[in-house]
Amino acid sequence: MRRMFPLAVAGTAAALVLAACGGPSDAAESSPDDAGLTAVKVGVIPIVDVAPIYLGVQEGFFEEEGLDVTLELAQGGAAIVPAVVSGEYQFGFSNNTSLLVASSEGLPLKAVAAGNFTTGTPGEDFGAVVAPEDSDIEDAADLAGKTVAVNTLNNIGDTTIRKVVDEAGGDPAAVEFVEMGFPDMPAAVAGGQVDAAWIVEPFLTMALQQGAKVVASNFAETDPELMIASYFTSEQEIAENPETVEAFTAAMDKSLTYAEEHPDETRAVLDTYTEIDPAVKDAMVMPRFAPGLEASSFQVLADLGLEYGTFDEPVDVGQLLP
């Protein structure tokens, strides 16, 4: 079967406070520590999507594979990708469209483990397009001619939105996208600064609790098996430390399986690197987690990027896959 996101944290009243968490901050990069473990740094974004890796560190899955992991918080893939390419981080997390963009620009990256997936259920996904309750926007087709906030232009948000608008019979080219940080979106929707916004958790639940309504589930409606993000490394890391890459992939697969099988623990681990209002945390929808990279998801996103203008020419998905 087939199976983001940069996160702006400034200038918001949203109740999400980010705190660093992970292994020792002075871990030597790709070198054995005193316990015989290989120390690696992983660039992650402080969002719900990366809960499995925090859970895996907590449960000892990386130590079982011989790794001492330090999790380094960054605001998005724009900071993580160059850090992985330079070797500052051995691994990183990013949405798959961003990885396709980087690969298309010639950066030597390889995906090594799944990140997260859509739940596949419209109306019950961890990301959605929302509008005010009294808006005349009722479905994806109604987004044509409207302003829609996304966290990053020409990326996974607007391409999947254009896809669902197109399928619903609307004009995808008529949607006007506005770049805005996720934390600022609930207030922007409530205050009428934009007609609608594509929001991910926990800000999606916050928007709904403030009176917004879901008008499209762009991930689930694009492909109910869509893999949204991945963990990746550099081609140089694979060439120089193949055992470390294999160990990381194995530990991530364990972590993803455990996260999906233990949803309460996965939700609880969010408290170790975020501060989310308990009422929001209990109500929000978590992504689906599962091991194994899905080449078909990369191809879906590459095709959408080409169709809707993210890419000028076809992207060779194989360059990004192991």
The per-residue pLDDT for range 125-158, each reduced to its tens digit, is 999 999 999 999 999 999 999 999 999 999 999 9
Q: Give the range among 24-38, 57-71, 248-262, 295-309 with minimum mean pLDDT.
A: 24-38
pLDDT at 4 over 80: no
Give me the residues paired with residue 39 across strands.
68
For the chain, domain boundaries: 16-118+225-319, 127-221
pLDDT band of residue 31 (cuts 50, 70, 90) is: low
pLDDT (0 to 100) of residue 24: 32
pLDDT at 78: 79
Domains 16-118+225-319 and 127-221 share a fold: yes
Q: Which residue has the tokens 């934009």?
A: 194
Cβ burial 169-189 (10 Å sphere, 16+ → b, else e): ebebeebebeebbbbbbbbbb
Residue 37 clears pLDDT 60, i.e. is over it: yes
Alpha-helix runs per DSSP H in the chain: 51-59, 61-64, 77-86, 96-104, 156-167, 185-190, 203-209, 218-222, 235-240, 242-261, 263-268, 278-283, 295-307
Reply yes or no on whether the pLDDT at 7 is more than 60: no
- For residue 1, pLDDT beyond 70: no
Confidence of residue 76 (pLDDT cuts 50, 70, 90): confident
pLDDT of amino acid 129: 98
pLDDT of residue 253: 98
Over residues 39-71, the pLDDT tens digits come to 999 999 889 999 999 999 999 999 999 999 999
Q: What is the mean pLDDT of the chain?
A: 90
Instruction: Please tell me the CATH code under which domain 16-118+225-319 is placed.
Output: 3.40.190.10
Task: Name the band, by pLDDT with cuts 50, 70 and 90, for residue 313.
Answer: very high
pLDDT of residue 294: 87
Asked if residues 115 and 53 have their Cβ atoms less than 8 Å apart, the reply is no
Q: What are the residues facing 176 on neighbouring strands? A: 147
In this predicted structure, the answer to whether residue 238 has a pLDDT above a threshold of 70 is yes
Topology of domain 127-221 in CATH is D-Maltodextrin-Binding Protein; domain 2 (3.40.190)
